[in-house]
Amino acid sequence: MASVTLEKVQKSYGSVHVLHEVDLEIADGEFVVLVGPSGCGKSTLLRMIAGLEEVSGGEIRIGERLVNDVAPKDRDIAMVFQSYALYPHMDVSSNMGFSLILKKADKSAIESRVGAAAKRLGLNGFLSRLPRQLSGGQRQRVAMGRAIVRDPKVFLFDEPLSNLDAKLRVHMRTEIKALHQQLRTTSVYVTHDQIEAMTMADRIVVMHDGVVQQVGPPLDLYDRPANLFVAGFIGSPGMNFLQSTVAKGGKADAVLADGQKLRLPDGLPLKDGDQVIVGLRPEHIKLTDHGSLDAEVEVVEPLGLSTQFYVKLAGQQVCVFVMGRTNMRPGDIIRLSADPASLHVFDPSSGNRIG
């Protein structure tokens, strides 16, 4: 096992910069998830760690060793791809043991390593099948088995679950997390799915347009997003954003587009007339008769365990999440409130969090 250190890592293709000075320290044994929308540079960064893309600037270390110019096969990493990348003419056993076969390892050693990995992944009964005789989920397990058999210092995963159906994805992400808890191998996992990131990561790296936006444990990002991008990206249903103007009497209020007011948290560096964007998580909006906000119900989505509904507030559609069931109907006028401490306040020009 090993740490992975990125220092001012850059990537450009000609004059196009796709990664801007990425700094990241991944601890030995940590499970780090790179998450962001398609095209933000996740795969490029992962492939640079793997040695499959040249580094345009900066340094990459695996453990103490600078690997910028080390060939992929000499980096002691194993990569799992979305496409599985199995050899179609080889059975499961040979696919899983391929790295050891190449190294001319002892036949019984190969058998025992492949057997142990197959057992761990529930593939015992499938060792002599060809990839085309397996389901998608089984193929992905074989690809993971091949990585495990190598016993690498670092696992690199590039959207390994994207080709699976929704139910299997949920199942496999739990399996991968459980596997990491047993093996404790340093892992870097790429996904565009923030729920996968939240559920699997020790720490999440949120990326946007080739720039790291924020790094931290899942709930830190959820509770204190550093900017509007992270605030909007992490969380489902997503955070609501309300454009407003600061009015300071004794305490600061946010005045919404229609004149309704929301009390802001204490102690923020704000002055009268400042424009701010107030971020409000759906579950932090409370339905109470003595709430200070009026809103009209537009759409009700009963989910059984909980109810999500959309209201018109200050001319904008706002999502509200409550546990349990409601008898609310479209057209109802309801009163809402929000605890000032649960609000997020952002500077609309920089997009950064205030306070």
Residue 145 binding partner per list Mg ion, ligand ADP, none, with a CB distance cut-off of 5 to 8 Å that depends on partner kind: none
315 near ligand ADP (CB under 6 A): no
Taking alpha carbons only, the member of 267, 269, 245 closest to residue 256 is 245
CA distance 191 to 218: 14
Kindly determine how many residues on this chain lie close enough to bind ligand ADP according to the rule CB under 6 A.
Answer: 11
Member of 9, 22, 24, 42 binding ligand ADP (CB under 6 A)? 42
Distance CA 213, CA 230 (A): 7
39 binds, among ligand ADP, Mg ion, none (CB under 5 to 8 A by kind): ligand ADP
Which strand ranges, in their side-by-side order, compose the sheet holding 275-280? 261-263, 252-256, 240-248, 275-280, 344-346
Given candidates 30, 32, 33, 44, which one binds ligand ADP under the rule CB under 6 A?
Answer: 44
Q: What angle is formed at CA 228 by the lines to CA 226 and CA 232, rounded to 5 degrees? A: 110
Total residues at interface with Mg ion (CB under 5 A): 1
- In degrees and rounded to multiples of 5, residue 272 shows phi and psi of -50, 130
> What is the x/- site pattern for Mg ion, positions 19-58, by CB under 5 A?
------------------------x---------------
Show contacts with ligand ADP in window 3-22 (CB under 6 A): 13, 16, 18
Query: Nearer Cβ to ligand ADP, position 42 or 281?
Result: 42
Residue 190's closest CA among 320, 340, 37, 322?
A: 37
Quick one: what does residue 44 bind among ligand ADP, Mg ion, none, with the CB cut-off 5 to 8 Å set by partner type? Answer: ligand ADP
Nearer to Mg ion, 43 or 94 (CB): 43
Q: Residue 229 in contact with residue 32, Cβ under 8 Å?
A: no
Instruction: Choose from ligand ADP, Mg ion, none: what does 279 bind? Cβ within 5-8 Å by kind.
Output: none
Cα 278 to Cα 34: distance, rounded to the nearest angstrom: 27
Residues that bind ligand ADP (CB under 6 A): 13, 16, 18, 36, 38-44
